Amino acid sequence: MSAAPIPSAPSVPSVLFVCVHNAGRSQMAAAFLSHLGRGRVQVRSAGSAPADAVNPAVVEALQEVGIDISAETPKVLTVEAVQESDVVITMGCGDACPYFPGKRYLDWQLDDPAGQGVAAVRPIRDRIEHLVRELLTDLDVEEAV
């Protein structure tokens, strides 16, 4: 009598968010996906020309909705990060993002929060949250409650 095959664990989709400075849009998107996906999605973010720190208005705008990214730092975009991701979402990084066949690429047209106050960042934050919720549905990942 042979043993029944062990079902393989479902694969966890991986998403990379890319913007120029990795200080605003991509940080917000990664934070929302991590928060709403709660371990059901592997999340990365990076920038083609990373800033020294995350935009303070972005940190404040996310704190308003209960997400703390104050310990995050901008990261440099690497070829490895793109290769290891199933979905690459760009946000104004232009041609700086390497392209690999077989990857799914999306480009989210979003205003840049650089140099903006928290009042200007809130609508960008809310649009990103909406797009992340759509992405979770598209990836067939149930949102954490």
CA distances from 1 to 4, 6, 79 (A): 9, 15, 48
* pLDDT digits 0-9 by tens, 77-86: 998 998 999 9
Range of the domain at 89: 14-136
Kindly name the residue from 15, 16, 19, 30 that is annotated as catalytic: 19
CB burial of 39-64 (b: ≥16 within 10 Å; e: otherwise) equals ebbbbbbbbbebbeebbebbbebbee
Q: Is residue 8 part of a domain?
A: no
Instruction: Look at residue 3 and tell me if it is in a domain.
Output: no
The answer to whether 97 is a known catalytic residue is yes
Residue 1 within any structural domain of the chain: no
> Residues 93, 131, 132, 135: which is the catalytic one?
93
The enclosing domain of 123 has a CATH number of 3.40.50.2300
Say if 9 falls within a structural domain: no
Q: Which residue of the set 41, 57, 97, 141 is catalytic?
A: 97
Does residue 7 have a pLDDT over 60?
Answer: no
Query: What's the total number of domains in the chain?
Result: 1
Active site residue 19: yes
- Across the range 11-21, mean pLDDT stands at 92
pLDDT tens for 100-143 read 777 898 999 999 999 999 999 999 999 999 999 999 999 998 87
Residue 4 is encoded by which pair of tokens?
């029944």
pLDDT digits (tens, 9 = 90+) for 62-107: 999 999 999 999 999 998 998 999 999 999 766 666 677 778 989 9
